[in-house]
Structure 1
Amino acid sequence: MGLKIGVVGLGRIGAFHVGTLSALDAVDELSVTDVVPVAIDSVTGRYPDARGCADADAVLASGVDGLVIASATATHAALIEQSVAAGIPVFCEKPIAMSSGESAAVVDRCGGSGVPVAIGYNRRFDPAVSAARAAVVSGELGFITTARSTTLDPAPPPMSYIAGSGGIFRDCAVHDFDTLRWVVGGDVVEVYATGANQGDPGFTAHDDVDSATVILTFASGAMGVVSATRYNGRGYDCRLEVHGSTDSVVAGWDPGTPVRNLDPGCAFPDGSPHGFFMDRFAQAYRRELGEFCDLVGGAASSSLCTMNDALAVALIADAATVSLHEKRPVRIDEIAESPSAG
Structure 2
Amino acid sequence: MELMKKLIIDVVRSKANDGIGKPKEDINEVLENDYGFQMAYLKQFKYGKFDRHFLINYRINKLDKYHLKSTDVIVIQYPIYSGKQFEETLLRYLNDRRVKTVAVIHDIDSLRFPNSTFKTVKDEAEFLNNFTAVISPNSTMSDTLKENGLNVPCVDLEIFDYFSDVHSKKNGIKYKDEITFAGNLNKSVFLKYLEVPEDIRFEVFGNIDDPETLNSSLRYMGSVSPDVLSKKLGHGYGLVWDGNSVDSMDGKIGDYLRYNNPYKASSYLSAGMPVIVWEESAIAKFVEEHHVGLAVDSIADLAMSLKRVTDGEFNQMVDNAHAISAKLHDGFYTKQAFDRVFDEIK
Instruction: Determine if the TM-score, normalized by the shorter chain, exceeds 0.5.
Output: no
Name the TM-score, length of structure 1 as normaliser: 0.38
Name the TM-score, length of structure 2 as normaliser: 0.38
Normalized per residue, the structure richer in strand is 1
